[in-house]
Amino acid sequence: MKSYCMSRRSFIKSLSATAAAALLPGKLRAGDAMNYPNIVLIYADDLGYGDVGCYGATKVKTPNIDKLASEAVRFTNAHSSAATCTPSRYAMLTGEYAWRKKGTGVLPGNAALIIQPGRTTLPSIMQKAGYSTGAVGKWHLGLGDRDLDWNGQIKPGPLDIGFDYCFLIPATGDRVPCVYVEDRRVVGLEPSDPIQVSYGKPIGDEPTGKNHPELLKMHPSHGHNQTIVNGISRIGYMSGGKAARWVDEDIADVITDKARAFIEKNKDRRFFLYFATHDIHVPRAPHPRFVGKSGLGPRGDAIVQLDWCVGEILKTLDRLKLAEETLVIFTSDNGPVVDDGYKDQAVERLDGHKPSGPLRGGKYSAFDAGTRVPCMVRWPRRVKPGLSDALISQIDFMASVAALTGQILAPGDAPDSFDVLGALLDETKTGRDHLVEQAGILSLVKGDWKYIEPGKGAKVSAATGIELGHDTQPQLYDLKNDLGEKHNLAAEHPEIVEEFAAMLENIRESGRTRKYE
């Protein structure tokens, strides 16, 4: 009975994909999903515009990412939706600017799922096109309803918003619970040692970084002084689940293995793999074989480890002879940060390395380094290697893959996602018309101009030392002539400031920016 239902479902899926594609002359010819490429989206964490060789880094070597870039179209004006993780991922997976929805800021590790089950998402579009869909790595979009019991079924989660399979770091490496979740269960959990998680009062009697700093192998520089797991104190408290706890040094190996296994398992059909690495987020505790390899301390070594992960995925595609027909996207969820809360020598050992490249700011910042990130798209069958300055955002992946697979989004779906497929495949250098960037306050980019709305936040973060780009006055930068956002031209061009402020207001009010017929 079950297999009958499954095959009937896939039959209907392939029929609807065919029907939709038939309506779209000029797009890929449809038949079934096998006419479309596999999609592997490699999503690095906190990797800055200047952190990899192909974007100008010289101190740290990234041969695999650079090779990928040499076979891809490499974007110089591609953006995450926000300068932090949760809102970027929310926007990428839903096609909706996260600032439209309350509760989409950086989430604690016990937050409920913030994507409504049943809504059209990037993975649900792929599922509809007949793909097998998998999420491997960092999640950070919440799990369960309120008060999730980590010892039972973890639901709702990725499997309820379009993924067929998941293997997750539930939130971040520095947030409890420090366990993996596979599909609906914590991996390796012993029933006799249940997990409890708290982001309020301490839970259990395990040592914390605050009370037992002598137990730490890595000390916090700010925050991160609660439950100690694997010699590293975290944000939040957890007790139990001892056998299930991850070893930070193994995370890259474990998730890369799972990503490889997903590709292998689906090699004879079409798949969409969302591979969200933990690197190079804190705590930076790379595997011993990468320690000392960059010469820049753990942050640089984590970049080397990330590069290895990318290489392994690409090797797997080569080995299975899938590279030609697989569209690989490599990008990052937000800009770079050097000291993000642990004393890991990142600042001391920078050695002239510039994580933001020529850009101003970094993670958390309204300046461009907050969201302008490395981004490359490889699809040997269709895309010639090249360089593109088209303005694109990760929020556009959704409308673009809908177009790629011949699907028409409903008016209410992906309200801010634009079809920039032509730009992604480098068939045109024209990307989106304008873009809103999120960093506490909003910025609006259109043409050469970037407007940053006034904000009351600190100009510089006391914790990270990053220039946040907040100012009580409006800011206006000419990105074409002043990529580093050094000269605020707002006073010289009040008419542009007024126009952009009004447009931003309109974007806020209208609830959507994607046009539909």
**Which stretches of the chain bind ligand NG6, using CB under 6 A?**
45-46, 84-85, 106, 140, 172, 174, 222-224, 235, 281-282, 334, 340-341, 463
Q: How far is the CB of 468 from Ca ion (least distance, A)?
A: 16
Q: How many degrees, rounded to 5, is the angle at CA 51 between CA 49 and CA 53?
A: 105
SS (H, E, C) 117-155: CCCCCHHHHHHHCCCEEEEEEECCCCCCCCCCCCCCCCC
Pairing status of strand 375-378 against strand 73-75:
antiparallel
The residue (of 144 and 283) whose beta carbon lies closer to ligand NG6 is: 283
The residue (of 282 and 497) whose beta carbon lies closer to ligand NG6 is: 282
Residue 341 binding: pick among ligand NG6, Ca ion, none (C-beta 5-8 Å cut-off by kind): ligand NG6
State both tokens at 386.
């090249």
The SS3 of residue 251 is helix
Q: How far is the CB of 439 from ligand NG6 (least distance, A)?
A: 11
Residue 307 binding: pick among ligand NG6, Ca ion, none (C-beta 5-8 Å cut-off by kind): none
Contact by Cβ (8 Å): 470, 440: yes
The residue (of 46 and 467) whose beta carbon lies closer to Ca ion is: 46
Contact by Cβ (8 Å): 42, 136: no
Binding-site ranges for Ca ion (CB under 5 A) = 45-46, 85, 333-334
Residue 106 binding: pick among Ca ion, ligand NG6, none (C-beta 5-8 Å cut-off by kind): ligand NG6
The residue (of 111 and 476) whose beta carbon lies closer to ligand NG6 is: 111
Distances (CA, A) of 454 to 472, 473, 499: 5, 5, 15
Residue nearest to Ca ion (CB): 85
Q: Cα–Cα distance between 77 and 129 in angstroms, integer?
A: 29
Q: How far is the CB of 362 from ligand NG6 (least distance, A)?
A: 11
Comparing CA positions, the residue from 8, 11, 28 lying closest to residue 130 is 11
Q: How far is the CB of 275 from Ca ion (least distance, A)?
A: 15
The residue (of 37 and 336) whose beta carbon lies closer to ligand NG6 is: 336
Q: How far is the CB of 336 from ligand NG6 (least distance, A)?
A: 10
Residue 282 binding: pick among Ca ion, ligand NG6, none (C-beta 5-8 Å cut-off by kind): ligand NG6
Q: How far is the CB of 463 from Ca ion (least distance, A)?
A: 15
Q: How far is the CB of 46 from ligand NG6 (least distance, A)?
A: 5
Burial class (CB in 10 A: 0-12, 13-18, 19+), 515: exposed
Q: Cα–Cα distance between 289 and 305 in angstroms, integer?
A: 9
Contact by Cβ (8 Å): 186, 179: yes
The residue (of 81 and 334) whose beta carbon lies closer to Ca ion is: 334
The residue (of 235 and 398) whose beta carbon lies closer to ligand NG6 is: 235
Residue 235 binding: pick among Ca ion, ligand NG6, none (C-beta 5-8 Å cut-off by kind): ligand NG6
Residue 408 binding: pick among Ca ion, ligand NG6, none (C-beta 5-8 Å cut-off by kind): none
Contacts of 36 (CB under 8 A, 6+ apart): 28, 129, 131, 270, 404, 405
